[in-house]
Amino acid sequence: MHHRMSILITGASTGIGQALALHFAQQGHEVFAGVRRHLDADALAAQAQGFIKPILLDVTQPASVENATAAVQALTHGRLDVLINNAGVAFSGPLEMTPHQDLARLMDVNVMGTFSVTRACLPMLRLAHGRIINISSISGLFAAPGLTAYVASKHAVEGLTAALRMELAPMGVKVCSVAPGKIDTPIWDKASHTSDKLLDEHTPELRALYQGLIHFYKRYALHETGTPLETVISAVEHAMHSVSPRARYIVGRQARWRARLNWLPVHWRESLVLRAMSRSAPKARQN
């Protein structure tokens, strides 16, 4: 039986964050669940078994981060055992078709939000000799066309994790990442809707140029089988409780295969990816 921990989870309204919050509250931990709306806070509290305290937290707003971490500090007497940076957004689409404001929003949430919350929590984590677990993605290790913005954001999270692990090691704070492939959560439905909206704003000629790429990710978002949420929960649990947590947890069979592809020479790997994309393109109609 593990001792009771204080845990702050960002992006806990839905998906991975919500599942982690409910699971660890049921396990008897003191969970602070970051949500952006009062409605989400009420819904989460209604489902919880055990101690769960929804905290209004928009990771892109410095004042919100400051208020949320101050509330956690007051409720934990300044000691935070675990920070789980989970808040994130995703969409696919060629860079040429991605508006600046959508790119900025993705980077604000996935990258700057992770930096901001982590920095604000460091005094509490140092005092507790705590742990930081960043929910990354296999896209932080394996670059695929059509996910350029998302890939860039998750590579940044992996870089932050690696550097911060060494930076905080002398202070007794352990840092790791959890890198899943596609997980069965609503994020992919949201991503598909966002991608469709972005594509509709461009000319048929530009859409035709990227038709194969667009079709590939639409099929991936809607039809590819995802890894169960339980596998992510198990990885996070190990990262929380292990005396020597791994630097990175790669979650799901698809993610592990993509990680292995990184061992190949670059031109082999890229040829395989491009061939897979071309095979998925819709066939031209015969007259």
- Encode the chain (287 residues) as per-residue pLDDT tens digits: 578 999 999 999 999 999 999 999 999 999 999 999 999 999 999 998 889 999 999 999 999 999 999 999 999 999 999 999 999 998 888 898 888 999 999 999 999 999 999 999 999 999 999 999 999 999 999 998 888 999 999 999 999 999 999 999 999 999 999 999 988 766 555 555 655 666 667 777 887 788 777 777 766 665 566 788 999 999 999 999 999 999 999 999 989 999 999 999 999 999 998 887 777 655 544 44
Residue 150 is a catalytic residue: yes
- CATH 3.40.50.720 assigned to 6-280: yes
SS3 274: helix
* Residue 143: CB atoms within 10 Å: 17
Q: What is the pLDDT, as a whole number, of residue 281?
A: 59
Q: What is the pLDDT, as a whole number, of residue 287?
A: 45
Cβ(232)–Cβ(183) below 8 Å: yes
Q: Which of 150, 210, 217, 220 is flagged as catalytic?
A: 150
Predicted structure pTM score: 0.91
- CA-derived radius of gyration, the chain: 20
Q: What is the pLDDT, as a whole number, of residue 203?
A: 77
Distance CA 131, CA 161 (A): 11
- Residue 129 phi, psi dihedral angles, 5° rounding: 50, 55
- Residue 19 phi, psi dihedral angles, 5° rounding: -60, -40
SS3 labels along 69-103: HHHHHHHHCCCCCEEEECCCCCCCCCHHHCCHHHH
DSSP 110: I
Half-sphere exposure of 127 (CA within 13 A, CB side): 11
- Crossing angle between the packed helical segments 266-280 and 253-261, to the nearest 10 degrees: 130
Q: What is the pLDDT, as a whole number, of residue 178?
A: 98
Q: Quickly tell me which residue has 């997980």 as its tokens.
A: 183
